[in-house]
Amino acid sequence: MTVVTRFAPSPTGFLHIGGGRTALFNWLYAKRHGGKMLLRIEDTDRERSTEAAIAAILDGLTWLGLDWDGDVVYQFSRAARHREVAETLLAQGRAYYCYATQQELEEMRETARKEGRPLRYDGRWRDRDPSEAPKDVKPVIRLKAPAEGETVVEDEVQGRVVWQNKDLDDLVLLRSDGTPTYMLAVVVDDHDMGVTHVIRGDDHLTNAARQTQIYQAMGWDVPKMAHIPLIHGPDGAKLSKRHGALGVEAYRSMGYLPEALRNYLVRLGWSHGDQEIFSTQEMIDAFDLESIGRSPARFDFAKLENLNGYYMRQADDERLVNALEDLLPELGGDEHHLGRKFTPALRDKLIAAMPGLKERAKTLVELLDSAYYLYAQRPLRLDEKAAGLLADGRARLAGITEKLQTVSDWNAQSVEAVIREHAEAIGAKLGQVAQPLRAALTGRATSPGLFDVMAVLGKDETLLRLQDQLKDAPAA
């Protein structure tokens, strides 16, 4: 048997972080077993489905590195097939026309509310002769669900889940306007697409019972099901926007790398011993449904940041520069006078400086910020800490510009020698010279190694920045 999984989002918004994890689990399971992951857009809600949301979902999956097999299936385009199955069930006596009016359904709902029980359709048209049907009511088609016994789902994560059939009513398959319901469409599509494993959030667990009844009514094999716990916030409450329930594209804009987010998501609810860091191949080789926990996973931004920092340190320097450039419109490229592309000269400087820059940053946003000294406009705007350091140490920098002007072979070693010699000459510790010097050259109190910074800036830019900041500097 070829394993076939599917990811089936509704295009009513972005690719939610929980949806990203569901897609990842489906993708990993299919890859692990040499199978396929299919993509189906469940766009039957025509009022809320948008082209922009579809584009965001496809872009989000592509950015995360999750590919799918075959063409994207659009559920709405299969409505005729869904109707055909409903009519087949009707012809077989496994479904029936229901002529209950909206008023009757409201009365059922009100009675259930007063009696403190969930709303269940009372089956009033289940066995009635259609000749009794009122002329002015367009019927729905309902499944003639088993009234006795139980419906069982042997869930790969939740274990054996049992529903008493008396607690499950006859669900609507086809609305009065002839459109299929979500429950019917999902079953028909999963069957027709050959889906063998349905891996989705456990908010669909009750749907599993109803969908199982449709499979059984049609005499179809029920796919294996795995309902994974939802993601909660750090406080244990259901994940909301304040916790990080954003679209995958928002994490991209916040400067996370796709491999870091993938690694973080795989560990939300699934574990493999104590291992935290997984290459893509390691994830594929290790992933199984048995190791998914039943408790909700908790989203932790600090863990995600640390993981992202790890992946940035491992990343190729040029690739990080490209990732920064891709994000320029969202990282305020215009605000920093960077435009939409780096100049060739700045690109070279960024690549040269990247080994030092990426050691400290945990996101691409931080990375661009820490590279400020490379693209800052003269005269530099010093932040508060840098301004304080320069004010305290300005006198110790007197004469240093002239000494640096004499350096002919400009590199980290040669400038370090001059600065050490200067510090000794004025009886100061190296740090007492390096700190105000860093402030003058970068506008910040922290940066990659000072001598590397000076080497990347080059002699001319270094001297010009010092001249800007040290005008009228008193002698030491």
Query: 114, 135, 241, 471: which one is catalytic?
Result: 241
**Annotated binding-site residue numbers for ATP:** 241
Query: Which two structure tokens, joined as six digits, stand for 347?
Result: 């690109």
How confident is the model over 118-155, as pLDDT tens digits?
777 877 878 888 788 788 889 999 999 999 999 999 99
Distance between CA atoms of 355 and 413, rounded to whole angstroms? 17
How confident is the model over 262-315, as pLDDT tens digits?
999 999 999 999 999 999 999 999 999 999 999 998 999 999 999 999 999 999
pLDDT of residue 129: 82
Residue located via tokens 């594929």:
284
**Model-level pTM?**
0.90
Radius of gyration (Cα) for the chain, nearest Å? Answer: 32
How confident is the model over 107-117, as pLDDT tens digits?
888 887 888 77
How confident is the model over 388-423, as pLDDT tens digits?
999 999 999 999 999 999 999 999 999 999 999 999
According to CATH, what is the number of the domain 78-228? 3.40.50.620
Contact between 232 and 239 (Cβ < 8 Å): yes
Answer whether residue 334 shows pLDDT above 80: no
What is the full DSSP assignment across 282-315?
A: HHHHH--STTB-SSPEE--HHHHHHHHHHHHHHS
According to CATH, what is the number of the domain 384-469? 1.10.10.350
To the query of whether residue 114 is one of the catalytic residues in this protein, the response is: no
* Mean pLDDT, residues 63-89 taken together: 97
Q: Which CATH number fits domain 1-70+229-314: 3.40.50.620, 3.90.79.10, 1.25.40.10, 3.20.20.140?
A: 3.40.50.620
Q: Which amino acid is residue 340, in one-letter code?
A: R
